[in-house]
Structure formats: structure tokens, C-alpha cells
Chain A
Amino acid sequence: MTLEALRALREGKKAEIDRRETDGKDVHIIIGMGTCGIAAGAKQVLEAFIDEIAAKKIENVTVKQTGCMGLCYVEPTVEVKVPGMPDTIYGKVDADVARKILKDHVVGKKLVSDHIFDRPSTDILK
């Protein structure tokens, strides 16, 4: 193996190992993967996020799964936490919206207004 080949291999494998890394990542994308979410296509959304992050080499982002967020009528739901911005829950997300969230919200720091749903039951949590 040559130096160039080693470098290429390292770059190629970085995305894969980076998915496992959680330290120092401050943007969190949390996808509701309850039965309702999965039925509405949450799996495809999850895939879209992971593929797009790898393709665009967006750093500092973890994509996690969680259970049902209680907003079953607008599934699939995705919560996005970016430092300095309000925690936002998006509803009716599909692969295209997922890519838009990454482009506008995570990278561009602008909310994707058509799909925002507030954090549910904040009064109950208190």
C-alpha cells in the first residue's frame, strides 16, 4: 500500500466510524421511531439523514432514534437541536424534507417553516 492509498482508505472509512462518534457533536437529530413513525416512513427519513450527512460531509451531527413523541397525526416526526437555536420538532418529514432540514436548519441556521410543530406537552412535563 502506498501513502496515497492509505490516505484514501482513511478518508473513506472516516464517515463510517464518525457515525459512532458522539463526543464533541453538538447538533442532534432525533427521529421518532414508534410504530406510528415507522408506519409513516421514519425509516426512509433516517436513511435520508444518514446518507446526506455522509455525502455532504456535515460534521458535528448525531442522528439518534427515539420512541413515539406523541404527535402521531403528523408522523414521521424529527426533533432537531442546534446550539443557539430553539429545539424544534418537525412533522410530516420525508426524505426531501430531511435533506432540506440539513441544508437550511443545520447548515444554514434557518428553520424550515412549513413543517414545524411545537414541542408537545411542555406544561405536563413541568
Chain B
Amino acid sequence: MVKKSYILVCGGSACEASKADAIYESFKKVLEEEGLKNDVQVVKTGCFGFCEKGPIVKILPEEEFYVEVKPEDAEEIVHETIIKGRPVQRLLYKDKDLKVDPKADKFDMSKIGFYQKQFRIVLRNCGFIDPENIDEYIARDGYQALEKAITQLGPDGIINEMKTSGLRGRGGAGFPTWIKWNTTKGVTADQKYVVCNADEGDPGAYMDRSTLEGDPHSVLEAMTIAGYCVGASKGIIYIRAEYPLAIKRLEVAMKQSREYGLLGDDILGTGFNFDIEIRLGAGAFVCGEETALLRSIEGNRGMPTPKPPFPAVEGLWHCPTVINNVETYANVPVIILKGGEWFKQIGTEKSPGTKVFALTGKINNSGLVEVPMGTTLREIIYDIGGGIRNGKAFKAVQTGGPSGGVITTENLDTGIDFDALAKIGSMMGSGGMIVMSEEDCIVDVVKFYMTFCVDESCGKCSPCRIGTRKLLDYLTKISNGNGTMEDLDKMTEIGMAMKKAALCGLGQTAANPVLSTMRYFKDEYIEHVKDKKCVAGKCINLIRYEIDPSKCIGCTLCSKRCPAGAITGEKKMAHKIDQSKCVKCGECYKGCKFGAISKI
């Protein structure tokens, strides 16, 4: 039955964490009470992407877009918007730069800066359909690509479309997807596998999780198409156990697909058999590397193996294996349905299509964005992201997580694609984008990434195991104020050696944050080494707090706030900080109402 209105409640992890569940229930309750249960449907969707302002509720077709909704707001929304057709003004998103005609009848969501420059292929259904209802996916042309692939294209036709589209792997390296598929297709074997890499590990990245949470069927359909194309009958989704919601939604989706005969034996009566199972990863970063991932599925310790042989030829249990990332798969049904030519027109010549980024850090609108390749960083950060938080100055953006590098002001107008980012010393990576402001210290940030890499290095090859440890040692030394100029040269040397000698992608790229910041922020390193200064005030051993006796009125607030008992002084007399006891937490600095404490 066609409903009059739909209430879409965001059910992504971020919004769930801020009570999206309770909001959903509360809408159901209010609708029941008002006798509108049959006229209005509440839909729990995947991520809207605008996580900064979550939980988000959207009313369709009225197109009201409500932000930061609380469970108790449900009643007002139903009474005002659903029954009387009036927007609840206080919950509408207010964009300070929003150019909306106040006389216009309706608030136009597409005019919100955050959505204006986005183009959604991968996230086409996210925030629109109920991910736990296969019918809604089917109604949005779901499984039509599978139908076309089997009945019209055939394996060669699929490869052709994929080749024309120019789709490159979205996991980070950007390898052409059609070559992987074609290689596996060309190998004769009794058993072949299709694997989905959902082991998203970059700090701050959550594109794949949101895709699986919001539109699990798109990945299942693409894997089935891949299976048909290469002649595999089994698919495995390797997903980290830290993504419980994505796992649950995948399980529901797989169950529904099996009931509909879209997975299992004799799919759609075509005689093609394909089924998918889920394997949970224990959260090791290295298992995102394809060979380590396959070893982990086999039940072995997740450690990479040298390539060749490539998984496409000899992968899981020595069988030919197609392995792609979640976002790559999510593109496939659209390519098959609309054709490679259509896809090729989007994005840049060498990197067609779109890319999903998880925008985080010191940015006003953090969230999930999908833009055509070739969009500049400036557009992403200022137009979509709404600029830097608290009006601070932009310093750099880290793409590619611990494997990538920084991009600075001078490259803000670079159109983003695989090759452009590699050229300026960073990499696309899986799509994490961490924005840094003038308040961030480069040495401190790089130290964080290196600590992560030391933890996550599997230890199999020495360039990575020893290299990451040595780099961290140097970084710690520098941030403590003990670094020398020779250390800086040594770091570059070690980094270059790791790049050449490490066994897998993790080790080869682990030094990237160091190498790229050495290129763009050498001055800041030198400042730490020579002047023993951390301008951003993040390296605690290089800063100290002091009280200006002429400004201090002896209110005793600082000494009360100090957790280390380092501040002493009589009431109404100037206080003093004992530097040997100070732990540099900054509590006194934040608390002083007279500006008497300075950070040096």
C-alpha cells in the first residue's frame, strides 16, 4: 500500500549512538496513538552522511530535514509536520551561508552546502531505503543488474562493461577492477572464490561500514555478479567484529536474499549457484591487506605473503580468488545497469567515478561525503565541510590514514584522484580524511600514526617491524625536545628503506606520514629540534605554564584545579607553579579568569 508520508530515521552507527533507536520507537508510538499507523511509515535507513548534526530525521515527500532530533521531539513532528504540514522550525538545519529564499514555500535540502557538491553512486540508497527490507532495494532497481548480467551480458560482456567503466579499486591502491576479474576468469580451476574486504582499519574511516549498514544488498548483488562472471560459486565477506550493526544488517540481507532465491542454488531459475558467508576479523590492521586477509580466512595467523602469486590466480586455499573492497563492489550494480560509458563520464579520465570520504578532525561538518573524482580539497573542506572548526586556520589534511600523507594549503586546489594524490606524496587510501588546524602539531600527529603502525605491524618482515619502532623512537625523542638534526636525516633514510624493502602494503606505506611531513613541514621539525619549541602546544615536554605575578590576584582557582598540587600561594597573593611537579595538563590555564597564566 502506498503511504502518505514517510519518516526516515537515520540508523547509522553514529546516530544509533545518539538514541536513533529510541527516536524510531517513539515515532511508532505516536503514530499508533494518532491512528496514523497505516498512513505513515517510519523507516530506519542507513547513514545520511551528515553525522555532525545527527540524529537526522527526514520527512518525505515533504522534504523536511530535521537535525539533532531527540526522542521526545517525535510528538511535535507528527502533530505539526505529518498532520498539519507545517515544519518544526526549531529542528530545521540552519546553515549560516544558506541562500534560501525566505519566501520560498519549502526548504530545499539540496541547497544545504553539505549536500550541494555531492554526487551519490555508492551511497545512492543510504538514507533512503530501509536496509533490512529487500523489497525496497528491489524497488530501487535492485538485482536488475544481476538480471542484466546473466540474461544479456554474460561473463565477457560483464568484463567489457567493467573495462569500459575504468573502475579502480576503492580500497586504496586503485588497481583496475576488471583486470582482477578477468585474470580469475581466465584461470581454470574446480573452485573459485569471491571475497569482499570489509576490514576497514584506517583510524577515522567509516565509509565501508556505512555502506554495509545502509545498503547491504548492493554489495551482495555485486559479489553475485562477480561470482557469475569469474565462475565462482562461493563468496566470503571478511568483516571486522567491531562492526556489529553492519554484520547484523548483512545477515538479515543474506537471509532475505536466500528466501527470494537471489542467493543459493539455481539463482532466478538460471541454473547459476552462488552463496555468501561472513567471516569475522579480530581487528588487526594488517588483515586489510589482501594476502593477510586470505590467510586469516583460512584460519591462519593474519600475515601477508609475497606477491606473485596474486590472489586472482592463487588466493584462498590456493584457489583463484577475486578480492575487492566494499565500496568497489557497491559501484558494480550501477555500472552494469547504466553501462561503463555512463560511469566513465563521471570523475577524471584516469580515475572515473566517485569516491566516498569520511571527513573528520577539526572540521565543522564532519560526516560521510561522496564526490566525483577530481573535486578539489578546497571544495570538500570549505564548501561541503563548512570550513575549520572555531574559525582556526587550516594547516593540513591527512588522507589515506597511517599509510598516507599530508596535503597542505598549496595543494588545496588539486583535484583529487588516485594519481594526483600520489604525485603530491599522499595517497587516496580507503577514504579517511582527517583535517588538521593550526592547533595541531605535526610531530604529535605523526607520532600517533607511528604508534598505531608499531602496534599493527605483524612483525613478519624486519623493515616494517624494526623500521616503525625506530621511527617512533626518533619521533618520541624529538617531541621530548632531545632530537638532533641527524635524527631527521636518519628518519628519512629509514623511511625510504622501508618503502623499498617491506613485504606488504602496510610496511611500504607506514613511513609515508613521516616522509610527507618532512617534505611539507620540515620547519616544524627543526623548530622542535633546534628551538625546543612546539608552537601548537601539543608536545607537553616542550611547553610550560607560568603565572604572571602582576596579573595574578590570588583567587586560588588555579591551585584548586591543579591535579598535581604544583601551584602554591597565599590567598590574594600571586601564585607560583612548581615546574618539577607540573604535569602540563593545562587545567590552570583554562581556568584562569584573569589571563595571568601563559603557555610558553
Contacts and interface: CB of A to CB of B under 8 A. Distances in A.
Given A10-B138, A17-B129, A22-B63, A1 B268 contact: yes
A31 B105 CA distance: 12
A54 interface: yes
B580 interface: no
Contact of A19 (B2, B83, B84, B261): B2
B99 interface: no
B553 interface: no
Chain B at the A interface: SS class: loop
Interface in B114-162: 128-129, 135-136, 138-144, 147, 151
Contact of A66 (B3, B105, B142, B151): B105
A30 interface: yes
Contacts of B143: 6, 10
A17 B136 contact: yes
Nearest to A50: B2
A42 B106 CA distance: 20
B530 to A, nearest CB: 57
B300 interface: no
B144 A3 contact: no
Nearest to A81: B105
A33 B83 contact: yes
B5 interface: yes
Interface string A7-30: 101100111111111100000001
B2 A1 contact: no
B4 interface: yes
B440 interface: no
Interface in A49-101: 50-51, 54, 62-67
Contacts of A34: 84-85
Contacts of B306: none
A118 interface: no
A54 B268 contact: no
Contact of A10 (B2, B63, B105, B139): B139
Which are the 10 A-B pairs with shortest beta-carbon distances?
A: A65-B85, A13-B139, A17-B139, A1-B261, A66-B85, A33-B85, A2-B269, A67-B86, A62-B61, A20-B60
Interface of B: 1-6, 8, 60-63, 82-86, 103, 105-106, 128-129, 135-136, 138-144, 147, 151, 260-262, 268-270
Given A15-B2, A16-B3, 16 more contacts: A2-B261, A2-B269, A6-B147, A10-B142, A18-B139, A19-B60, A20-B8, A21-B61, A22-B60, A22-B61, A31-B85, A63-B4, A64-B62, A64-B63, A65-B5, A67-B85
15 contacts: A2-B269, A9-B138, A10-B144, A13-B138, A16-B2, A17-B129, A17-B136, A19-B2, A19-B6, A34-B84, A34-B85, A51-B2, A66-B105, A67-B84, A67-B85
